Structure 1
Amino acid sequence: MKILAYERVEKPVLEALKANHDVQFFKNIDPNTDPKFLDALSEAEGIIGLGLPVNQKLLQKAPNLKIVSNVSVGYNNLDINELTKRNIMATNTPEILTDTVADMAFGLILATARRISELDHFVKSGQWTESLTEQHYGVDVHHKKLGIIGMGRIGNAIAKRAHNGFNMDILYHSRTRKPEAENNYHATFMKLDELLQEADFICLITPLTNETKGLIGKREFQLMKDTAIFINASRGGTIIEQDLIDALKNNEILAAGLDVYEQEPIQQDNELLKLKNVVTLPHIGSSTYETELKMSELAAKNLEAGLNGRKPPNLINGTVWENLNK
């Protein structure tokens, strides 16, 4: 079968797909204009990859498409309504990356609190020439209050690390109560405003939806303690980035740790890159070799199932399967 692979598909998985199918792989191209990509798209029965904007415009050029297999847990790059209208299956790769992203998020908590990146530069640049003073001190993580916005699988894994390893008090805000977190980690459910006012560390880990777009902005940053540390491990669009910059520059919050941005890759003139109290990562939350390989393998499993008339294990738009099997 004809398969279009885009951006991030690990080599062993790509080779396995090529052994059984007609696969064309594309990386670092403009999917709107690249002629070879558009030619492959016109014949593709399946798409596998990361970050391809699958919208109405693209789907009009893909008349044979049966399934789109995202190599990620998030799928805000997919127009699910349009895919469902056309009876095209959409899949993702949940659960596999939970612990890896939780490790990264907690790493940002530690790095911002203890100023690890800043002090690493301080040592390497030869500035450590005498005894340290309190201007170099960070803040404790243990026994502090961690507020988690979005208590899904990853939020739960972060709570586990914080409660069991650092004796932190867990506060959380989510669409629904999470009895598992409350029972296992003594987590306290709060309204968003209450959490923002109470927490020492605030970790945002929601998906990007219409409801969460711009969820944290000027008002929310002003509700936080001036000693609060803000961590964004969700999507760049869940916050108003300029409002975060202003909050940091005006000392409304202490620091921030970021893995995501409004524009990615981040532009080099972005003020976030000039602030010492910000730790910046290149949207690498799930990117360890082990996890990336497992995600590619699961995405290929979803793809193969859909192409061969079986229900993919991680089907997002289940109504398509029902329609195809009436």
Structure 2
Amino acid sequence: MKNSRYIISVSNKASDEETEYYRKELEGMAEVHFLNGLSPEIQKEKLKESNILIARNPTVELPEVEDRAFKGIRFIQLLSAGYDHLDFSRFPKDTIVAGNMGAYAKPMAEHGVGMILSLAKNLRLRHEEMKQGIFNQFDSKSMLIDQKVCGIIGYGSIGKRIGQIMKSAFDCKIFAINTSGKSTEKTDWIGTLDELDFLLSNSDFVVITIPLTEETNNLIGHAELNKMKDNAILVNLARGQIIEEEPLFQKLKATPTFKAAIDAWWIEPFFVNKFELNFPFLELPNVLGSPHNSAMVEGVLLHSSKMGIENVKKYITTGKAERILDLSNHKTFQ
């Protein structure tokens, strides 16, 4: 499509700062339509004119637009890093889709490490005791993080950043799992999912950052949790469905020394417009929860938009783009 006329539709809600940035960066390169807040009829008409779509979650952002409105879309730039929740059958089969992997790595890694620190040091429990007037100085020992083993399931940009922090700050050994069992990033051990048991049984902290796929759906169940140390800390920054909900709850309830930090839940608003738990995780003292906000730091949405726009500009000027997704075996999860 090089040298063609480009019309871009932006379906996500954009701040004034983002809108100004889009207009400035794409001036003279493409016409830009902002769809948020428009009626479904007008959204449909704008999309029919467009050949590029920029979106965070088009499934939620354009629920009332008929699939045929996307017939002219040739390139989609996602501003979100994950895409397991998206239904790409709505778009033409030859549409190129680019992800935004890496856009949220730094804040998500900080959040994950913060959760490890909070649980290892029992900060929330000690705070609650002090609210009740209990000054428990000497009978409140916590876990030393220094030189422990941090296992990371999913060694992409987020996982690597967590490994860097845990290694540099706490001299932790870094065990990692990715698709190839290899990495240019230094680790103390690296393997594939076939070697998951080794990582689980030898890690003091296990952090999940792997994408949700058919292979990783329900990756962690009864058997896997039983292989973990009884005083391990499990952190899920990825997707709730990677861990089986009931086995995790039963493990936490039966083993008070085992702890879990949950940022990604099984039923949450971004995917199905509601938050719901089948088990009372948040009533357990060995659970730390956050509302899937590990990426949400000041300026992150603008940062992710900038990454996305740079990729769109590359596509317009060269016909090529970075972070192209292989959707040949894609399955949509809710």
User: Could you say if the C-alpha distance between residues 247 and 3 of structure 1 is closer, same or farther in structure 2, counting changes exceeding 3 Å?
Assistant: same
Q: 1:117 aligns with which of 115, 124, 131?
A: 124
Query: What residue number does 1:324 align with?
Result: none
SS at match of 1:95: coil
* CA distance, structure 1, for counterparts of residue 327 and residue 290 of structure 2: 35
Query: What residue number does 1:242 align with?
Result: 246
* CA distance, structure 1, for counterparts of residue 279 and residue 252 of structure 2: 14
Query: What residue number does 2:266 align with?
Result: 262
SS at match of 1:26: coil
Query: What residue number does 1:108 align with?
Result: 115
Q: 1:180 aligns with which of 184, 194, 197?
A: 184
Contact 1:217-1:243 at 8 Å conserved across structures = yes
Which stretches in structure 1 are left out of the alignment for 5+ residues? 320-326
CA drift at 1:166: 0.5
Which amino acid letter does the alignment assign opposite residue 16 of structure 1? Y
Deviations 1:31-74 (A, max 9, x none): xx95554554444433222122299x964332222222111222
* CA distance, structure 2, for counterparts of residue 102 and residue 313 of structure 1: 23
- 1:280 pairs with 2:280: no
SS at match of 2:59: coil
- 1:127 pairs with 2:132: yes
Which amino acid letter does the alignment assign opposite residue 68 of structure 1? I
CA drift at 1:306: 4.0
SS at match of 1:202: strand
Which amino acid letter does the alignment assign opposite residue 249 of structure 2? I
CA drift at 1:103: 1.5
- 1:165 pairs with 2:163: no
Deviations 1:289-321 (A, max 9, x none): 3433221112123334445673233333599xx
Query: What residue number does 2:331 align with?
Result: none
SS at match of 1:261: coil
Contact 2:206-2:233 at 8 Å conserved across structures = yes
Contact 2:155-2:178 at 8 Å conserved across structures = yes
CA drift at 1:204: 1.2
* CA distance, structure 2, for counterparts of residue 264 and residue 278 of structure 1: 18
SS at match of 1:180: coil
Contact 2:182-2:190 at 8 Å conserved across structures = no
CA drift at 1:257: 0.8
Query: What residue number does 2:71 align with?
Result: 63
Contact 2:33-2:46 at 8 Å conserved across structures = no
Which amino acid letter does the alignment assign opposite residue 273 of structure 1? L
CA drift at 1:88: 1.4
Q: Percent identity?
A: 23
* CA distance, structure 2, for counterparts of residue 153 and residue 97 of structure 1: 9
User: Could you say if the C-alpha distance between residues 5 and 276 of structure 1 is closer, same or farther in structure 2, counting changes exceeding 3 Å?
Assistant: farther
In the TM superposition, 1:204-223 aligns within 5 A as 204-223=208-227
* CA distance, structure 2, for counterparts of residue 169 and residue 8 of structure 1: 41
SS at match of 2:54: strand
SS at match of 1:315: coil
Which amino acid letter does the alignment assign opposite residue 70 of structure 2? A
User: Could you say if the C-alpha distance between residues 39 and 275 of structure 1 is closer, same or farther in structure 2, counting changes exceeding 3 Å?
Assistant: farther
* CA distance, structure 2, for counterparts of residue 178 and residue 110 of structure 1: 28
Q: 1:293 aligns with which of 273, 287, 302?
A: 302
User: Could you say if the C-alpha distance between residues 9 and 71 of structure 1 is closer, same or farther in structure 2, counting changes exceeding 3 Å?
Assistant: farther
* CA distance, structure 1, for counterparts of residue 146 and residue 242 of structure 2: 27
Query: What residue number does 1:147 align with?
Result: 151
Q: 1:4 aligns with which of 3, 9, 12?
A: 9
Deviations 1:160-219 (A, max 9, x none): 2112210112222332222534xx343354721122112111111111111111111121
* CA distance, structure 2, for counterparts of residue 318 and residue 144 of structure 1: 38
SS at match of 2:70: coil
Contact 1:145-1:169 at 8 Å conserved across structures = yes
SS at match of 1:155: helix
Deviations 1:129-168 (A, max 9, x none): 444453x443221121211112223222212211221011
* CA distance, structure 1, for counterparts of residue 233 and residue 40 of structure 2: 43
* CA distance, structure 2, for counterparts of residue 174 and residue 229 of structure 1: 20
Query: What residue number does 2:236 align with?
Result: 232
Which stretches in structure 2 are left out of the alignment for 5+ residues? 1-5, 270-274, 329-334
- 1:303 pairs with 2:312: yes
- 1:196 pairs with 2:200: yes
Contact 1:144-1:200 at 8 Å conserved across structures = yes
| Stretches (4+) displaced over 6 A | none
